[in-house]
């Protein structure tokens, strides 16, 4: 009866579904080059110690480079069911090219546990450096636009309600500093990604006295992972990358959300370039901000990888467990999502048309109610009192249907005798903006200073 239940699924070896379930070749093949570089460094170090001969090393190196060439030219043929992962596949092919006698010596003292950690770290380091450059390019566009469009004034919002006038540049820079912090954080992450696991063995270390420093230097690592058990088990570098990317995508998502709102007919502050919009298959008039919506949507996916992988890690016993193979796919997808998203955000901003007239027209005299209160503060009235007085002006304006800046001098004077003729000067949006000249404010000088600080952060 055992046969009736199970027989059909067993072919003498592993359950075919288990073969598929276990294999990682179809995604970890992207690490082919890192795997080969790591193997060459490992073989060189073993040759230095006399574990293999110089002639054997040369044969291994040539063979490994031949395997690399096959990957690069798309001629590497994966053997289904045999090539479990990139390490197995490369070694199998190496044996076919240079013969098993020498190929069989490559893995002396080595474990796939240290190999996968090495491959992932090398790959991720290079990808994160590329992302660093994308982020710098995006920040440079933010700084350049902030400089060029510094005279554009728009409504600033809290609770999505009109609050106070601000410079359009001030809005851009508010996100600019968030992205600049992401850039700083990325530098920290890269430091911990770029450490070498090579020479850690399966868990206990290398028994042939391999020169770990030599291998780390050859591969461009900044240092070693100092405990072999920790070295093979550590995927914090992946978790940290996912956490980093989640924060960045959170910023991108909020940035996109603002622009989606600003691009509606009701706001009309910005217009997306055709290159970053799509039409409707039904409604001919539609121009949809798909790029921004995808930026917002993909942030959920990035965040999900982070949360999911933290769940994978928690509760694992020490050193290598196969669960760790689940770190590869989230890393690959996350890095692609984040890298693409930064470039799309950059493209959107670089081609965005602003509508300063619409921004101007959306300013409302009520947005100067705080300035009205501040006016009396400058005459020595306590702010709590001036807040109340200004509130009464707002109420009068609402009751009479008169815009606040059109209330007569007599009407204002009746509310508070300390209003003078110069009260008319308060109702000026640009003046309001220019009053905010303390560091970090929206006045021209403050914004120019921000641009300077941001540029220094970009490096
Ligand atoms: N494909 C494996 C991974 O990604 C490589 C390490 C396998 N090690 C092992 N002991 N089974 O984690």
Domain ranges in the chain are 2-103, 112-361, 365-442
- Looking at residue 9, its pLDDT comes to 55
What is the predicted pLDDT for the residue at 8?
59
- Give yes or no for residue 238 CB within 6 A of ligand 1: no
What is the spatial distance between Cα 351 and Cα 212, in angstroms, rounded to a whole number? 49
Q: Which of 322, 331, 332 to mutate to test the pocket of ligand 1 (most atoms within 8 A of CB)?
A: 322
Architecture of domain 112-361: Up-down Bundle (1.20)
Res 11: pLDDT: 58
Alpha carbon distance 307, 317 (integer Å): 19
Pocket test for ligand 1, best of 29, 86, 325, 332 (most atoms within 8 A of CB): 325
DSSP 278: B
Catalytic machinery residues: 159, 280
The closest-lying atom of ligand 1 relative to the alpha carbon of residue 116 is 5
Ligand 1 pocket check for 320: Cβ under 6 Å: yes
**Cα 42 to ligand 1 centroid, rounded to whole Å:** 18
* 328 CB within 6 A, ligand 1: yes
- Is 341 near ligand 1, meaning CB less than 6 Å away? no
Does ligand 1 lie within 6 Å of residue 446's CB atom?
no
Burial of 55 (0-12, 13-18, 19+ CB in 10 A): exposed
* Best mutation site among 110, 113, 234, 318 for ligand 1 pocket (most ligand atoms within 8 Å of CB): 113
CA of 325 to the centre of ligand 1 (A): 6
For strands 161-167 and 195-196, give the pairing: unpaired
Structure tokens at 355: 């509508």
User: Measured at the alpha carbon of residue 323, what is the angle toward residues 318 and 328, in degrees to the nearest 5?
Assistant: 115
Q: Residue 166 and residue 446: Cα distance in Å, rounded?
A: 12
CA distances from 150 to 75, 80, 175, 201, 455 (A): 55, 60, 15, 58, 16
From the number of C-beta atoms within 10 Å of its C-beta (0-12, 13-18, 19+), residue 314 rates as exposed
Residues in the chain: 459
Q: Note the CATH number of domain 365-442.
A: 1.10.40.30
Residue minimizing CA distance to atom 4 of ligand 1: 325
Spatial CB neighbours of 53, under 8 Å, sequence gap ≥ 6? 47
Architecture of domain 2-103: Orthogonal Bundle (1.10)
Residue 36 CB contacts under 8 Å (≥ 6 apart), including other chains: 64, 65, 67, 68, 90
371 lines ligand 1 (CB under 6 A): no
pTM reported for the whole predicted model: 0.94
Q: From the CA of 202, give the closest atom in ligand 1.
A: 10
Write out residues in the chain with pLDDT < 70, as ranges: 1-12
């Amino acid at each position: 009866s055992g046969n009736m239940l199970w027989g059909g699924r067993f072919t003498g070896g592993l359950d075919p579904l288990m073969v598929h379930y276990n294999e990682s070749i179809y995604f970890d093949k992207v690490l082919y080059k890192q795997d080969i570089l790591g193997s060459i460094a490992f073989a060189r170090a073993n040759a230095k110690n006399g574990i293999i001969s110089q002639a054997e090393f040369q044969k291994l190196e040539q063979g490994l480079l031949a395997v690399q060439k096959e990957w690069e030219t798309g001629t590497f043929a994966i053997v289904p069911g045999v090539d479990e992962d990139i390490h197995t596949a490369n070694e199998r092919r190496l044996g076919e090219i240079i013969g098993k006698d020498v190929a069989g010596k490559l893995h002396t003292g080595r474990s796939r546990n240290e190999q996968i950690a090495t491959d992932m770290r090398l790959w991720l380091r290079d990808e994160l450096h590329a992302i660093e450059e994308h982020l710098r390019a995006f920040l440079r566009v933010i700084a350049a636009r902030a400089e060029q469009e510094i005279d554009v004034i728009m409504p600033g919002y809290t609770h999505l309600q009109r609050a106070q006038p601000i410079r359009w540049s001030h809005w851009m820079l508010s996100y600019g500093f968030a992205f600049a912090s992401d850039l700083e954080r990325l530098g920290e992450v890269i430091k911990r990604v770029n450490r070498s696991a090579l020479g850690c063995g399966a868990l206990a270390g290398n028994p042939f006295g391999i020169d770990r420093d030599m291998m780390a230097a050859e591969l461009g690592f900044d240092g070693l992972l100092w405990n072999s058990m920790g070295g093979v088990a550590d995927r914090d570098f992946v978790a940290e990358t996912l956490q980093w990317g989640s924060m960045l995508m959170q910023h991108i998502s909020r940035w996109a959300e603002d622009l989606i709102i600003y691009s509606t007919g009701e706001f009309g502050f910005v217009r997306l370039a055709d290159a970053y919009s799509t039409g409707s298959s039904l409604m001919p008039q539609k121009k949809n901000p798909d790029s921004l919506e995808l930026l917002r949507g993909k942030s959920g996916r990035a965040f999900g990888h982070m949360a999911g992988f933290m769940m994978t890690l928690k509760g694992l016993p020490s050193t290598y467990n196969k669960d760790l193979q689940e770190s590869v796919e989230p890393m690959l997808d996350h890095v692609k999502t984040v890298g693409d998203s930064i470039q799309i955000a950059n493209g959107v901003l670089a081609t965005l048309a602003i509508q300063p007239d619409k921004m101007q027209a959306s300013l409302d005299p009520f947005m100067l109610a705080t300035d009205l209160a501040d006016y009396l503060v400058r005459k020595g009235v306590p702010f709590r009192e001036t807040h109340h007085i200004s509130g009464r002006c707002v109420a009068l304006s609402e009751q009479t249907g008169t815009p606040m800046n059109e209330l007569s001098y007599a009407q204002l004077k009746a509310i508070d005798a300390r209003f003078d003729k110069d009260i008319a000067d308060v109702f000026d949006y640009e003046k309001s903006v220019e009053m905010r000249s303390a560091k970090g404010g929206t006045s021209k000088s403050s914004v120019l200073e921000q641009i300077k600080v941001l540029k220094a952060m970009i490096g």
